[in-house]
Amino acid sequence: MDSTSILSPSEKFTLISRNLQEILGEDQLKLMLKERDIKLYWGTATTGKPHIAYFVPMTKIADFLKAGCEVTILFADLHAYLDNMKAPWELLKQRVLYYENIIKAMLKSLGVSLEKLKFIRGTDYQLSKEYTLDVYKLSSIVTDHDARKAGAEVVKQVEHPLLSGLLYPGLQALDEEYLKVDAQFGGVDQRKIFTFAEKYLPHLGYAKRIHLMNPMIPGLTGSKMSSSEEDSKIDLIDSAAQLKKKLKRAFCEPGNIKDNGLLSFCKHVLFQLPAVKDGFAVSRKEENGGNVVYKNYDELESAFAKEELHPGDFKIAVEFYLNELLDPIRKEFETPEMKALIKAAYSPAQKAPAKEEEVTPSRLDFRVGRILSVEKHPDADSLYIEKVDLGEDAPRTVVSGLAGLIPMEELNNKLGVFLCNLKSQKMRGIESQAMLMCASKNEPRQVEMLDPPEGSSEGEVIFIEGHMGTPDKELKPKKKIWEKLQPEFLVNTSGIAEWNGYQMRSKLGLVKSSSLRNVPIK
């Protein structure tokens, strides 16, 4: 008789829910367990190499199987590509094969029977006519705001996101319907995608699912464990020597139980292993207290918090249990076939040719400045020398070619827009430390300062919509950044300053020219 058949619904719920951080739909789960076993899936995007934190969901999958759940593991290859192309299209097949082999090896190391599991690849069904039609239906009702919000914790965030990243949450929601499951399991970092699914699936006539969430495990540096941060994680096929080296560097402050990735790993993985059923053994010298066995995780955590257990002794014990866990996996990946697969899926990156430096207006430091005084240049009839308050400790000197075009009295105490990160240069012996921005017309010759938004103050930042960012500290003259961007700066037919169609503004409003229209800004 299957041992799961003699478990009560409450015992099954205990197995399913232990060590989870949150369950959305807990009451629905309890009711369902009174009638039948549930079907659930866990998905992983096949991007960077899985690391030891993957044992956290694997131990929960073992719990789900013990509770009689039907479990599907989804290798989300299409999702891996859509998430800012973390997995290039030409590598998808090799990445999926690596994930499939490494995860099966992990489960076998935990003593989980693969016969009870179903494995599926996203592209097995996500390219079907029906699924594609549902993607279109979903895109017709999902707002840009909701798509961005849903993917905020999972999809790589960049200044100018690709459309593919906005599709990602919708596809993950649809997976619940196309895999015909009752629940989805994942990390708490996916909570926004789960609530997105709960909101939008019913709009397509599909049922709202249960969502089970694991806590996020700190990495070796004390932050979230990440495949892209080498120092924060232990690879599943790291050698014993590599493991020892990484554990020595791992953050493990005496008494600190909050940001301790090793303690979290003990709680969620090691204490679930048969090897630790009789307790977590720490070997140490007699003068350091002698050998000790902690019967459960609470005892271990308490001893560490009280500083009764030294981080060095604790790390040695973790190293022993981790080697026990990783040795079977290492052996499976020592074959020529597996080594070839690793090379094909994660070959060392070829040094890419140097990219052409991106030239965008976010590199320009525009600020509001107040002209405190104006005088004529002693050696140039066409130049003024202005003292300008840019919200700094001391005024800057600005030399401008406005003499004969704008009377000095009109400039005094006037607010203008200044480019502040050009390299200072001498103009007829006087060093100019910024450039005053003006609308300029050639025939007949006419120039007027750009007007900052009403209510502006000295030092107010001026930016180009859609191109915010940290400006260069100083624009290198040889790079000619300003010279490349300047031709696209103009005052449009409405008198609004813009670059390539994007408006120039501050948080208070738009930068304008009082009378000139459809002219360049210089």
Tokens for 151, please give them: 């993917």
The pLDDT-based confidence of 160 (bands split at 50, 70, 90) is low
What's the maximum distance between 2 C-alpha atoms anywhere in the chain?
Answer: 103
User: Are the beta carbons of 79 and 25 closer than 8 angstroms?
Assistant: no
CB atoms within 10 A of CB 301: 18
Q: Which residue has the higher pLDDT, 350 or 263?
A: 263
Among the listed residues 411, 398, 419, the one whose alpha carbon sits nearest the alpha carbon of residue 461: 419
Residues 104-127: pLDDT tens digits?
Answer: 999 999 988 888 899 999 999 999
Per DSSP, 141 falls in state: T
Residues 453-478: pLDDT tens digits?
Answer: 999 999 999 999 888 888 999 999 88
Listed in sequence order, the residues at least 6 apart from 300 whose beta carbon sits closer than 8 Å to its beta carbon are 263, 266, 280, 294, 309
Of the given ranges (57-61, 221-225, 322-326), which has the lowest mean pLDDT? 221-225
Q: Which amino acid is at 260?
A: N
Of the given ranges (78-92, 179-193, 287-301, 437-451), which has the lowest mean pLDDT? 78-92
Using a cut of 0.85, tell me whether the model's pTM lies above it.
no
Percent of the chain with pLDDT over 70: 92
Half-sphere exposure for 157 (CA within 13 Å, toward CB): 8
Listed in sequence order, the residues at least 6 apart from 185 whose beta carbon sits closer than 8 Å to its beta carbon are 40, 41, 42, 57, 60, 61, 64, 211, 212, 213, 214
Which pLDDT score is estimated for 350? 45
Of the given ranges (45-49, 68-72, 401-405, 484-488), which has the lowest mean pLDDT? 45-49
Among the listed residues 103, 105, 114, the one whose alpha carbon sits nearest the alpha carbon of residue 45: 103
Tell me what the pLDDT averaged over the chain comes to. 89
Tokens for 82, please give them: 């859509």
Whether the per-residue pLDDT at 1 is higher than 50: the answer is no
Which pLDDT score is estimated for 287? 86
User: Are the beta carbons of 371 and 416 closer than 8 angstroms?
Assistant: yes
Whether the per-residue pLDDT at 85 is higher than 60: the answer is no
Whether the per-residue pLDDT at 159 is higher than 70: the answer is no
Which pLDDT score is estimated for 224? 45
Which pLDDT score is estimated for 225? 44
Which pLDDT score is estimated for 165? 76
In three-state secondary structure terms, 415 is strand
Instruction: Compute the average pLDDT of residues 256-268.
Output: 89
- Delineate the domains of the chain, giving CATH numbers in brackets: 9-214 (3.40.50.620), 240-346 (1.10.240.10), 361-520 (2.40.50.140)
Task: Report the length, in residues, of the chain.
Answer: 522
Contacts 24+ apart (CB under 8 A), 127-131: 127/78, 131/174, 131/178
Tokens for 27, please give them: 């009451």
Instruction: Compute the average pLDDT of residues 44-48.
Output: 87
Tokens for 510, please give them: 């738009």
Compute the distance between CA of residue 280 and CA of residue 315 in angstroms, rounded to an integer: 12
Instruction: Compute the average pLDDT of residues 80-94.
Output: 72
Beta bridge partners, 497, equal 491
Contacts 24+ apart (CB under 8 A), 235-239: 235/49, 235/51, 235/52, 236/49, 236/50, 236/51, 236/52, 236/54, 236/102, 236/105, 236/106, 236/326, 236/329, 237/102, 237/326, 237/329, 237/330, 237/333, 237/342, 238/326, 239/330
Please name the residue ranges forming H helices in 405-477.
408-411
Compute the distance between CA of residue 234 and CA of residue 239 in angstroms, rounded to an integer: 10
* Helices and strands: H and E segment counts in the chain: 16, 23
The pLDDT-based confidence of 402 (bands split at 50, 70, 90) is very high
Tokens for 509, please give them: 């409003």
In three-state secondary structure terms, 206 is coil
Whether the per-residue pLDDT at 83 is higher than 90: the answer is no
Which pLDDT score is estimated for 81? 78
Whether the per-residue pLDDT at 227 is higher than 50: the answer is no
Which pLDDT score is estimated for 5? 58
CB atoms within 10 A of CB 519: 18
Whether the per-residue pLDDT at 54 is higher than 60: the answer is yes
Instruction: Compute the average pLDDT of residues 493-501.
Output: 92
Which pLDDT score is estimated for 323? 94
Instruction: Compute the average pLDDT of residues 65-93.
Output: 82
User: Are the beta carbons of 58 and 65 closer than 8 angstroms?
Assistant: no
Tokens for 329, please give them: 């996996």
In three-state secondary structure terms, 142 is coil
465 burial class (0-12, 13-18, 19+ CB within 10 angstroms)? Answer: middle
Residue holding tokens 């738009």?
Answer: 510
Which pLDDT score is estimated for 2? 52
CB atoms within 10 A of CB 276: 20
Which pLDDT score is estimated for 352? 43
277 burial class (0-12, 13-18, 19+ CB within 10 angstroms)? Answer: exposed
Residues 277-325: pLDDT tens digits?
Answer: 889 999 998 888 899 999 999 999 999 999 999 999 999 999 999 999 9
Compute the distance between CA of residue 465 and CA of residue 488 in angstroms, rounded to an integer: 14
Which pLDDT score is estimated for 355? 54
Q: Which amino acid is at 36?
A: R
417 burial class (0-12, 13-18, 19+ CB within 10 angstroms)? Answer: buried
Listed in sequence order, the residues at least 6 apart from 67 whose beta carbon sits closer than 8 Å to its beta carbon are 4, 7, 11, 12, 13, 15, 16, 37
Compute the distance between CA of residue 382 and CA of residue 351 in angstroms, rounded to an integer: 51
Residue holding tokens 């503004």?
Answer: 505
Instruction: Compute the average pLDDT of residues 358-384.
Output: 94
Compute the distance between CA of residue 491 and CA of residue 498 in angstroms, rounded to an integer: 6
Q: Could you write out the DSSP letters of every residue in 232-260?
A: G--BTT--HHHHHHHHHHS---TT--SS-
Listed in sequence order, the residues at least 6 apart from 310 whose beta carbon sits closer than 8 Å to its beta carbon are 254, 284, 288
